[in-house]
Structures are given as structure tokens and as C-alpha cells.
Structure 1
Amino acid sequence: MSEPPPRKPPAVSSAPAPAPEQRNEPRREPSEEELFGLRLSDPYRWMEKKENAGELKSWLTSEGQRTRQHLELLAGHAKLEERVRELGMSQAFASVVRPVGDLVFYLKTDKGGELRKLVVRSSDGRERVLVDPSTMRTATGGHVSIDHYRPSHDGKWVAYGLAEGGGEITNVYVVETATGRVLPEVLPRIWGEFWVSWRADNSGFYYTQMVPESELHGGDPMQGMRARFHRLGDPVPQDPVVLGPGATAGPPFEPQEFPKVRTFPGSRWSLGFGTGARFEARIFATRAKELSATPGKAAWTTVTEYTDLVRDWAVHGDDLYLLTSKGAPNRRVLRVSLEKPNLADAEVVVAESGDVIEEMAFDAKSLYLHMNHNGRSRLRRLPFGTRKVEDISLPFDGWIDDIVADPLREGSIVHMEGWTREDRYFAFNAKSRAFKDLSLVESSGIDVSEFVADEVEATSSDGTLVPLTILHRKDLPKDGRRNAVLEGYGAYGFSLSPRFKPTHIAWLERGGVYAYAHVRGGGEKGDAWRLAGKGEKKPNSVRDFIACGEYLVREKYTSPSYLAAYGQSAGGILIGRAITERPDLFAAATVSAGFLNTMRFLQGSNGANQKAELGSPDTEAGARALFAMDAFHNIRQGVKYPSAMLATGLNDARSSPWITAKFGAQLRWANAGRPVWLRVEGDEGHGVGSTRRQRFALIADMWSFFLEEMGDPEFRTAGSTR
């Protein structure tokens, strides 16, 4: 194993600082505001305005070119990117598996393939491709990705959504499974996470649609959505609204809520939902027959509100099963009759225990429960009509990514993986209690025997024990000189559960350390863990992350000169505040598509949708909580912050590119002498629809930047004194 050289401080130049135009600095425009006693200085607020979109795009594009030119000067960059790509492309993926009768539908990424394609496999093992986005291009030459799909209950039809340029606003098409014929109708402006729900007779489906672009008038495209019904063959513009704005009956919805409709084979009931950027949902029930006969006029009965803390559900016949954390932080399962859905009369069918219930799924005869036992998955099964919960032995000790089942048949499919265990899909036979590897994709053949995952706990500033996963070579010397990356997220109750990432071997095999901080705000320890890092308690997440970094240093996995921080999306809050709170702890940081200016999130696309998680600036308590988590407003001139590389895609509809632009400009203004790079891609969004080449390029760019800042001789530019 090679020894990393001692880190040398950057040379201090005696030359005068270059003029702003030579540094490609954006203009600073004075803007002062006082909100509940908080003084907010924001010289880059002009970037938020639509009339300045051209100027902002021009600056971001030039910054992206500047960063690209710099990375290409690093001698080791091309070799590292080639290795990352070699490892990543050796893995084939299956995802979003859906069994329907004797057919299994799934999204598949081949070894060496860039994008997922929609395939179907018959009972004899033969596989056919139904939709292949790699054969498509946008009008401007950009790529096309498939974001979601759902087969009809009989498997005859599949509705699927295609997005352009890495964005997440899809057009929905319908393909005939037997022939591959694509129907002529196209349903526009459907968010990439919102799959359709087929009616029981398979004549059409319910879907949630964004407001037409012509009606936005500069507003947030994520607001004002409505649920509609499309009958195959009917003109799409005539699709009736069945829930949300425009429906003639039903519950009212806030503009930022997403109305959805779901159907359940074998049940007389359909459910409606109010959701958003939160786990909890409002749930409404109506008879499926009434909804079919009178779209938009059906009578809905409210079953739950957000305060009931319901995060998952299943319908079997007339019974509704609810997974709730109300009064049970590790969650419990309730059953209520849809004939009289009164939660006060709900029966507890699975009580809370020391294990966290992560999700539910059901087949024709049973309810399946995914349990989190100290970061490892357990599977339990509850036959309908009984109170006897059975333990099911899993194929290996790892993590369940998903459980899926056909509600009209017995059995389920379990998707599993681990930190050093490649993901596989297993079919569970309910009668024999046996698992069978479906072999949906071939193994990568990557040898991971040299690597290990240490599962430890760091002590946060208030004494809370924070889970920390540390991946490294088995023969790693703990001498404090290893290059290390600490990744975190800590939002929405999302857990950094075990994932097999072959690309990370490119970092580990160099003697590097890759660690995951399971901070509060995530779901690793149930709902209490999530709430302890939400809203005004978000500083707990930051302190947890810092504690994990300190643990790595104290236990001599690394030292501040070799420690980098990484987060994406809402993880940007965590990383942004960690480096502004403890700049001395990190050598470098990368934030991808990050939430870095929470005081202004309402001005961005997808803004109001975030209120449930972040809070609101309209109250003093809310404003002060947002200020505490706002990395932009916590930058102080003269502080020596870590070097940074900030990534954004110009098609990002979740975290507007101006957020990254503002933070990067402000950090560079304050961070004299320390580099701040902006990595900007035009054919990308939030990362959901990126090609594998794009994902691997981001990893290689980020690690090359880290290695440069850590003093690796292979990543020095010409003339560098580091």
C-alpha cells in the first residue's frame, strides 16, 4: 500500500489579487433584509430572478468550463476516471421489479450500458426489451431516461415515463407487452416519481399531473398538481380530474400537496392521498366502482391526517393496514375496516418492538414486514386473518432494499444487498419457505474480499451515540494519514442503508477510507431519530456529522489534512453547515445539487413542497431554524474554509442551480486563497435521470479534487507547490 505524502500548505503569493473580472467573479449587488431580528445580506439575490437567468447560465457555464479545464490538468484524473468507469460498468442492475402473474417486469441496466431499459421476463426465463431509451435522443441531442413505469394488473399494458436531459418532468406513454406496440396517446408533465395506478378492469389508469407550462406564469412548477384518469384511446386533454384542484368533489388540497390515487386488485376500494416531501400522508377512501362511474364526483372519506404519522399502507379486501409511528417511534401496524374507517377503533395487529418496521408489502394471503435490526434487515410475515407473525430466514445477512408481491398470488420478491455484498433479487415461495435467486442480472465478479465495513458509534456533543460505517482495506494502518471521505444526508427519515457500490473500490484500493455518518434526521433508529434532526433540531444532524469526523481523526483512520466531506441534495444542508461550523476539521468538501440557502428555498422550484421538512420562514421560530441550517448566510469573510467543489445540473428542478451558484460565489469571495470550483453540466438535472457515464464522471471529478487537496502527487497541477 502506498504511503500518502505529508500535506503541504498552499504557497502564499505576493502578487496582488486578480481583479474580479479576471477571476470570473459574478457581480455583487447590495441587498439587505431584516427578518425577525435577523440581518440578511445577500449580494447574489439577483441570481434568483428569472430576468437574470441568461446571465446566470452564462456565468455557470463558464465556471463549468473552467473547472473542467482544471480537472483535466490533474495527471491522475484520466486514470482514476477510467478505473471508476471500469468498476462501475462491470455491474449490471435490475430495479423496480414488478411481478404480474407469470411475468416479471423490471428496469435493467446491462454491463457497459449507460441507461435503464424496460424489460419483461416470462416464466421460461426469456427476456424481451419493451423500451430502450438509449436508442432515443432529444431534439437538441440530449439523452432520454425512463423514470417510472407500471404494468396493468393483467400485464397486457405498461405505462412508462420518459424524461429529457436528466430532468424529472416526464411524458407518459403506453406500450403493449405482447407486441411492443406503443399507443399514440402521450400524457405530458408528470413528475418522475409519480407512477400511474391502473384501474381494476385495466381500461386505463389514474395519474398525477403538473400544471401546464402555459399556466405557470412564473410560479413553482411543483404546485397545483391534480390527479386525473386516462382511459386508453381517449383524447388526453379530456381526461377528467378526480382529486385535487379541478375536481368537483373531494377533500381540499394545499397548492404544495401532491394528490394521488391508488387502486388495489381484489378490493372494492380505492385510496386517495395527499403527500409531499415527507413520509406521512393524508389518506382518503372511496369505493372503486363509484370512482369509475363518476370521476371527479366520488365521495371521499378521510381516514388519516398528517398528524396520524402514517408512512406506509396496504389494502386487503375491505381492510386497510397502516404503518404508523404515532405513539410508537419504532412503528406499529394497525388494521381498520374501510367500511367504517375510524382510527379510534383500529386494531393493533403488529405492536411496536425494539426493531424498526421499515415497510410493508402484501400478496394474496399475507402481509410482509421489513424490520431493521441494528442496521440489518429481518423479514417477518403475517397471514391475513391471524395475529401470528412469522420470522423468515433471509438468504444472507444484509439489507432489504425492497419487497414486492402480486396481490393476486402468493409469494414475494425480496431485493437484498450489503456494504460488501452485491445486490440480488430472490423469489420467496410462501409454501416451501424457500428463496430462489432470480438471476435477473449477471454478477459483476468483483472481488471484495480485501475490504471490510467497521460498524461503530461516535459520541455527539450531547452524548448521543451516532452510528458510523467505515469502509476500508483489511490491512489499513491506522496512522492518521489515510485519505478519507465522510458522507452524510440526514433528512426526510431517509437512511444511508448498506449499498454495494463497486465504483468505491477505486477509492478503497488506493488505501483510502470511505465512511457514512448515520446522523439524526435520517431513519436509522426510527421516527424519534428522524424528528431529532428535523426543523429547529437540524443542528443535531450537523453536530453528529462533526462527531463522526472527529471519531475518524481520533481513531487515526485519517486527519483533518486528509478528510473530505460529501453530501447531495438535502445533504447539502449537512455538509454546508459542517464546513462553516468546523472548517478546521476538513481539507475539502463537495456538495452536489445541494440545499445551501434554506432561507430562500421558497423562491426555487420545488420550494413550498419542502415546508414539511424544513419549516417556514413566515414565523420567527421557523425563520431562526432556517437561518441556523443556511450555509450561505453562515459564511464569514476571513475564515479559512475547506476547499470546495460544488456540482449542479442546469436541468435540476429540485434544487435550483442558483442555489449552488450563490453559495459558490459567496464562499469564493470569503475564502481568499482556497479554491472553490463549480462543476456544471448542461445535460443533467438532480441526478435521477443521469447516465452512468455522467455519474461516474462526477465521482472521478470529486475524488480527483479531493486527492489534489490532500496532496497526492499524482493529482498535482503543473507548478503546484502542495
Structure 2
Amino acid sequence: MTRIPSPLALAAASAVISLFPVPSKAQNMSDLDYPETRAEDVSETRFGTVVEDPYRWLENDVREDEEVAAWVAAQNKVTQAYLSDLPGRETFAKRLRALIDYERYSLPEAAGGRTIFTYNPGLLNQPRLMTQGPDDAEAKVLLDPNDWSEDDTVALGGYALSPDGAKLVYAEQDGGSDWRTVKVVDAATGRTTSDIVEWVKFSNLSWDGSGDGFFYSRFARPEQGQEFQSLNLDQKVYYHRLGTPQSDDRLVYETPAEPKLSHTAQTTHDGRYLIIYSSEGTDERYQVHVIDLASDDLAPVTLIGARENNWAYAGNRGSEIYFLTNLDAPRQRVVRLDMSDPAAQPVQIVGQDDAVLEQAALKRDTLVLAYLSDVKSELRTFALDGTPLGAVDLPGIGQAYLGGEEGDGELFYGFTSFTVPPRIYRYDVEAKASEIWREPDVPFDPDAFVAEQQFYTSKDGTRVPMFVVRRADLDSGKPAPTLLYGYGGFNVSVLPAFSTTRLAWIEQGGVVAIANIRGGGEYGKAWHDAGRLQNKQNVFDDFIAAAEHLIETGVTSSEQLAIQGGSNGGLLVGAVTNQRPDLFAAALPAVGVMDMVRFDQFTAGRYWVDDYGYPDREADFKTLYAYSPYHNIGGDTDYPAILVTTADTDDRVVPGHSFKYTAALQAAEIGPDPHLIRIETRAGHGSGKPVDKVIEEYADVWAFAAAHTGLAVGDGE
């Protein structure tokens, strides 16, 4: 099962601790000077509205523009001087290092008698890729990304095992960038072949049935200096035959008349067909073409012509292909299509349920389906005629996720929750029985923490779920410093999951709340649609209502509440801070989309019009401009303390968003609390970030949040 990148991813609680004092007003920015930021007279008129953009020059690539690089260095100098003096910073760093020091495994994949999986024994900056052949007594290291660069910022960015288990195609990710370099290694000996494929992005890696080569998607090489800025257009699908140069790769599929279409290719598990999904944006609306790999001309056959619905391959039996889809089913169902009659209507196998269908896997003659019911996972099994065969027992309330190869009788799945680190299970389809394949030994007591689900009412009366996680011994009748997290977009469901970074906060007596606001996929397509385009304000209203609920129920107070979100969640934090600055003590927007007028001008930004709308269309522009974080800073109320985080090689949400937003914050008259930016080097949007950098970042972020919410941080002993 290949990882497919998306265009656009918690010691003892009762120990006696010594306390550091809460920072005084001497810690606010009235005693520090922000770096000077040049403002230019830049504006444009859109649909009768003059849009000011005085910091547009900060959009320039930090690697190519000396003035931007100097600005970044100056901002980091001020920010690090402030953060280094915060009490609790070293405590958080020490505890994070201890909490992260446990074994972590990915779901295993198998082919030809060989099994592969990633493994981190604890504090390696990058997980190793392990392999175990049929004659191996135990797994051994196949790839170790920790040897790929001196700073451990080159990561494993995807991989796939050949059908016979003899070879592995894998991708290298440099400095957190979405660009990938693809290579091939002998799975038994570890010897790398001469095969190299470059300028791959947002791509699957799929072997042909013979194992002689693989399919991938790529863009044209960007112009020099534009690798991290230019729009991603004209993606094409290629076939690379082993032992040949990339220049000889065969073009398999392209749409020159529609340069905005992206194409992801996936071979069926039996190697018979290549399925190509085409879409223009992030919304799951796909056109589907299928190529019979036994044919000589590799001519694509249209299976789904209209880009209106989601289609996800679950498995096939000969020409009969099973898909998960939201066609006539907003919470999704399973249907069958037949390549012997591609024009025929889909045949329903498993109909829509009250729960949301999230994943589907075909194991022998059994469909294993992962559902989401009120943001909690269920696994159910069905025969190929749709007859229910029973549920897979899960160890509790949490998140289950599927893996493993289709052809064998065992299914690997993972399970995690807020207090349970990921466990890997092997499920035997015929015996209908699960057993633990890997279970980490963690350096804390899960019973020392509790997680509960609450429901609250948003501004328009919508019932919204939220999880609240705290120490079991914490006095729930007393307001506590609280982190409220949200995302709210792109049909992404925020599910129960273990997080050592959050646990470090909770151990100190803080509370973590996760709001499942609209715009996500927690309740299917309708929940997503209610939080996008002209409905985007619902997302902000839901998040504000979550904060008000936490305050009204005594979980926290406005003086103790910090809000956090990344990427689209960074936009969320920026927007609600502008709309209700009085409600929060601290705001932590990470790698956020902050300029809603120009987001579609850079790299993957053009994909996001499905969720945000088109800035060059009047109705969409008016909605976008009304909540754009960069353009709506100010007012009569002092702002909370703000720590913006981004990275210099983020080519998903380019750092110019955060740069411009920070410059505008620092120039505005919005009160004495600090408004800082932390800019990571040799890091991107998040994936592939070394463990050391994760620890350093969260030690800074949590110390900042603690300082401004009144969390008393212990000495870590």
C-alpha cells in the first residue's frame, strides 16, 4: 500500500514538582523591539474594493531574496531571545524527549513472502524502513534515512514493494519539500539500482504486474529559483522501466487541454489494470480512467467521465472492480463496476449507513470497511454480495485505520486513541480473529489520563462534537489552562489519536480540547459542505462556540485559553483571532493560509479553490476578503499573545503567508502582548521533520502558551 501525499497531516502525572513563577508584564513585547519591516505602497482594486498589500515583497523565496532572508534572520533572533527566557521551556524539551522515546511502527506491507514496515526505536530523527524475507529470522534495516544527510532532514517520502517482493521503489523528501526524488533498491540485498526519477510531486508509486517498472506522476521541472514558488500545472503520468534513464520513460496519460487537472495512478492488486484518478482541486471529485496493462497501446478507457464524486479503489476480482464512493451517498457506500462493460451503471454492494464510511479493503472474498460514528471508529465485514459478516472488535473508543495487501487472507490495521499509542493488529479474515502484531511500551501510565466527548451548540444551532483530554487527578471543577485545537476544512476528519506533544502539555496540568467543527468529514459530505466556500464562516463560528462552551462549563477561562491549528487550521486561528480577540489568551497559528486574496498564486494553492473559492470571482472574493487573516487585523480590542510558526522550505503553504501576516500584526496597534514568528530552517509543511526539530519546536510553543495562559510548569522530575 503506497503512501499518497495530499496536495495541499501526547511520567508521572501526580509527581511532586517545583513551580516556576508565571511571567510578569516584563515578558511582553513592550520591552522588546520588533525588527523593522519595510512597507510598500502596493494595492490593487478588485470588484470595487481596494486591497492593500504593503508586505508583498515578503512573498519572495527566502533562498533567492537577500532582503527576505535578512528579515527572517532578524525575526528569529528576536523570537528566540524571547522564548529562551520563558520558564518551562527546558522542562517541556526534557519531557518531550522522554515521552517520544518509545517504539513506533507503521502498518506492514507484504508481497512475495516479504514484509516491510517503518520502525523508530525511539529518538531517531527519521524512522528506518525494515524488511523481513521468508528466510529471515527477524527484520533487518533496508533503508536508513538518518544516513542520508548530516542534519537528518532528508526523509523517506513514500515507498512500494514490487509484486514479487524483490524490489522496492521509494521516494526521498529533502528538507520537508513536497518534491520527491524516486529511487529503487533490491529488497533482499539493500543495493540501490541506477534508477532515478526526479520532479515527482503528489504522486503514487505503483508497480506494474511483472515488477519490471512502475508508474508515477510528475510535473515539468520548474524554472531556476522557482522550485518553491511556481504553480503546479500540467501533471502527467509516466511509466519507468527499470534499468533505463528517466528521459526514456513512457508518457501514459496527460490532459494538455486542462492543465489544472492532477492525475494519480494506481495499479490493481492483481497487476491487471492501471486506475487513473483526475481532479482539479482538493475536493474529492474524480474522473476515472482505466488502462488494461495487458494491452499493447495502453489506451485509457473512461470508467467515470464526470468529475462529481469521490471514487476510491477497494480491490478487484478479475474485471470487477470495487470502489468506495459518495455517488448518491453523502456518507459513502461500496459499489462494483465491470471493465467488461465500462458504460454500465455501478452495482451497489454495501449501501449508505448512518455512520460515515471512510476506508474499504478487499481481503479474499471479504470486504472490511472502516466507519466513523460520532467521530469514533468501527470496523465491519461484508461478503461480496453485501451480506453483513459481523464487526471486528476494537480495544476501545478511538481511531482504526486499514492496511495490508489485498491478496492474502490477513489484514493489518492500526488502532490509537488520545491515551493509547498506535497498536498494530493482524486480523485473520477467515478465522475472524485479531491479534496484536506490535504494541509499544510507553513511558507513562495511560490510566492517569481521561478523554471525554462533549457536544455543544454553535451559533446557528448546529450540534458539534468536541473531545476534552486531561489528567485523571485534575480538579475538573476548577478552570485550567487549555489548548483548543481545530482544523475545519478539506473533508479532513480530526480523529482520536495519540500525541506525545499534547501529552507533555496535559502532564503539567493543562487541558487539550479538539473541536470537530464543520468543514471536516466527521459526518460526511454535508458536514464538509457546511464549512466551505460561502459557508466558511460556519467554521469560525463553530470554533468560537467551542471556546465559549469551554469557558461557560468551567473547563477554562478566556485568560487561560490558547488556540492552535496548522495549515487550514492556521487560517482558522488567524480568522477567529481577528473576529474575537477578547476570547483568547494566546494564539498559535502554524503554516497557515493567511492571504485569502492571493493563495491561488503559489505552488499547490490553486488546488484549494474547491474549499475556499476563486479570488477572481466577485462572490467568492467578497467572502474571502471578509475573513482573510492578513487583511482584517485591527480593531478596538487588544489581541492575545501570538506565536506564528512556519518553515523556510514549506512549498505547500508558502511561508510568505506567515511572513506577511506577522509583519501586519507587528505594525498594528493591537496591544502589548507579543506577536512573534518562529521560522524553522530546512523544514517544510510538516512531513519528514526530524524528531529533534519537533522537540525544539513544541518546547518553544508550549512554553509560550504556558506563559500566557498561566500554566505553572514543573521541573520535569
Q: TM-score, normalised by structure 1?
A: 0.91
Cα deviation digits, residues 354-406 of structure 1 (max 9, x gap): 1110111122322221111222221122233x231222232412444421232
Q: Kindly state the Cα deviation for residue 9 of structure 1 after the two structures are TM-superposed.
A: 8.0
Q: Kindly state the Cα deviation for residue 560 of structure 1 after the two structures are TM-superposed.
A: 0.5
**SS of the residue 2:108 aligns to:** strand
CA distance in 1, matches of 2:626, 2:609: 15
Q: Kindly state the Cα deviation for residue 101 of structure 1 after the two structures are TM-superposed.
A: 4.1
Of 484, 498, 508 in structure 2, the residue corresponding to residue 486 of structure 1 is 484
Cα deviation digits, residues 492-518 of structure 1 (max 9, x gap): 111110101133222112111011011
Of 269, 272, 290 in structure 2, the residue corresponding to residue 285 of structure 1 is 290
1:621-640 alignment, distance < 5 Å: 621-640=619-638
Q: 1:86 to 1:59 in 2, by over 3 A?
A: same
Letter in 1 for 2:143: V
Of 529, 532, 554 in structure 2, the residue corresponding to residue 531 of structure 1 is 529
Q: Does 1:79 align with 2:78?
A: no
Q: Kindly state the Cα deviation for residue 40 of structure 1 after the two structures are TM-superposed.
A: 1.6
The equivalent residue for 1:266 is 270
Cα deviation digits, residues 55-102 of structure 1 (max 9, x gap): 11220122112212221112321122111121112x221125312243
Q: Does 1:70 align with 2:82?
A: yes
Letter in 2 for 1:59: W
CA distance in 1, matches of 2:287, 2:332: 17
Letter in 2 for 1:135: D
**SS of the residue 2:447 aligns to:** coil
Query: Would the aligned equivalents of 1:7 and 1:561 in 2 still touch at CA under 8 Å?
Result: no
Query: Would the aligned equivalents of 1:210 and 1:221 in 2 still touch at CA under 8 Å?
Result: no
Q: Kindly state the Cα deviation for residue 11 of structure 1 after the two structures are TM-superposed.
A: 7.0
Letter in 1 for 2:51: L
Letter in 2 for 1:429: D
CA distance in 2, matches of 1:3, 1:484: 21
- The sequence identity of aligned pairs, in percent, is 28
The equivalent residue for 2:7 is none
CA distance in 1, matches of 2:18, 2:630: 37
Moved more, 100-109 or 142-151: 100-109
Letter in 2 for 1:208: S
1:588-607 alignment, distance < 5 Å: 588-607=586-605
Letter in 2 for 1:84: L
Task: Give the unaligned 5+ runs of structure 1.
Answer: 246-251, 717-722
Q: Kindly state the Cα deviation for residue 683 of structure 1 after the two structures are TM-superposed.
A: 1.4
CA RMSD of aligned residues (A): 2.6
1:439-518 alignment, distance < 5 Å: 439=438, 442-518=440-516
1:43-58 alignment, distance < 5 Å: 43-49=54-60, 53-58=65-70
Letter in 1 for 2:601: Q
Q: 1:257 to 1:95 in 2, by over 3 A?
A: farther
Letter in 2 for 1:271: I
1:553-632 alignment, distance < 5 Å: 553-632=551-630
Q: Kindly state the Cα deviation for residue 480 of structure 1 after the two structures are TM-superposed.
A: 4.9
CA distance in 2, matches of 1:411, 1:136: 34
Cα deviation digits, residues 619-678 of structure 1 (max 9, x gap): 111112222341111112553111100111101010111110000111121224221111
CA distance in 2, matches of 1:80, 1:12: 19
Which segments of structure 1 move beyond 6 Å, counting only runs of 4 or more? 1-9, 11-15, 215-219
The equivalent residue for 2:427 is 428
**SS of the residue 1:546 aligns to:** helix
Letter in 2 for 1:133: P
Q: Kindly state the Cα deviation for residue 474 of structure 1 after the two structures are TM-superposed.
A: 2.0
Cα deviation digits, residues 203-259 of structure 1 (max 9, x gap): 0000111211348978725222211100000111111111115xxxxxx56333221
Of 635, 640, 643 in structure 1, the residue corresponding to residue 641 of structure 2 is 643
Q: 1:457 to 1:152 in 2, by over 3 A?
A: same
CA distance in 2, matches of 1:689, 1:651: 12
Query: Would the aligned equivalents of 1:243 and 1:260 in 2 still touch at CA under 8 Å?
Result: no
Query: Would the aligned equivalents of 2:169 and 2:205 in 1 still touch at CA under 8 Å?
Result: yes
CA distance in 2, matches of 1:28, 1:473: 47
Query: Would the aligned equivalents of 2:646 and 2:680 in 1 still touch at CA under 8 Å?
Result: yes
CA distance in 2, matches of 1:474, 1:233: 59
Q: 1:11 to 1:86 in 2, by over 3 A?
A: closer
Letter in 2 for 1:564: A
Letter in 1 for 2:168: V
Q: Kindly state the Cα deviation for residue 414 of structure 1 after the two structures are TM-superposed.
A: 1.0
Q: 1:214 to 1:666 in 2, by over 3 A?
A: closer
Query: Would the aligned equivalents of 2:530 and 2:538 in 1 still touch at CA under 8 Å?
Result: yes
Of 101, 107, 118 in structure 2, the residue corresponding to residue 107 of structure 1 is 118
Q: Which structure is richer in relative contact order (CA contacts within 8 A, separation 6 or more)?
A: 2
Q: Does 1:203 align with 2:207?
A: no
Letter in 2 for 1:328: A
The equivalent residue for 1:673 is 672
Task: Give the unaligned 5+ runs of structure 2.
Answer: 1-13
Q: Kindly state the Cα deviation for residue 314 of structure 1 after the two structures are TM-superposed.
A: 3.6
**SS of the residue 1:279 aligns to:** coil
Q: Kindly state the Cα deviation for residue 14 of structure 1 after the two structures are TM-superposed.
A: 14
Q: Kindly state the Cα deviation for residue 488 of structure 1 after the two structures are TM-superposed.
A: 0.4
Cα deviation digits, residues 565-591 of structure 1 (max 9, x gap): 000011112111111111111000111
Q: Does 1:27 align with 2:26?
A: no
Q: 1:48 to 1:240 in 2, by over 3 A?
A: same
CA distance in 2, matches of 1:303, 1:314: 17
Q: Does 1:212 align with 2:216?
A: no
**SS of the residue 1:271 aligns to:** strand
The equivalent residue for 1:376 is 376
**SS of the residue 2:467 aligns to:** strand
The equivalent residue for 1:333 is 334
Cα deviation digits, residues 656-705 of structure 1 (max 9, x gap): 11110000111121224221111011111111010111112221111100
Q: 1:470 to 1:320 in 2, by over 3 A?
A: same
Query: Would the aligned equivalents of 1:486 and 1:516 in 2 still touch at CA under 8 Å?
Result: yes
Query: Would the aligned equivalents of 1:417 and 1:500 in 2 still touch at CA under 8 Å?
Result: yes
CA distance in 2, matches of 1:311, 1:406: 15
Q: TM-score, normalised by structure 2?
A: 0.92
CA distance in 2, matches of 1:3, 1:340: 72
**SS of the residue 1:69 aligns to:** helix
Query: Would the aligned equivalents of 2:375 and 2:495 in 1 still touch at CA under 8 Å?
Result: yes
The equivalent residue for 1:690 is 689
Q: 1:304 to 1:418 in 2, by over 3 A?
A: farther
Letter in 2 for 1:144: V
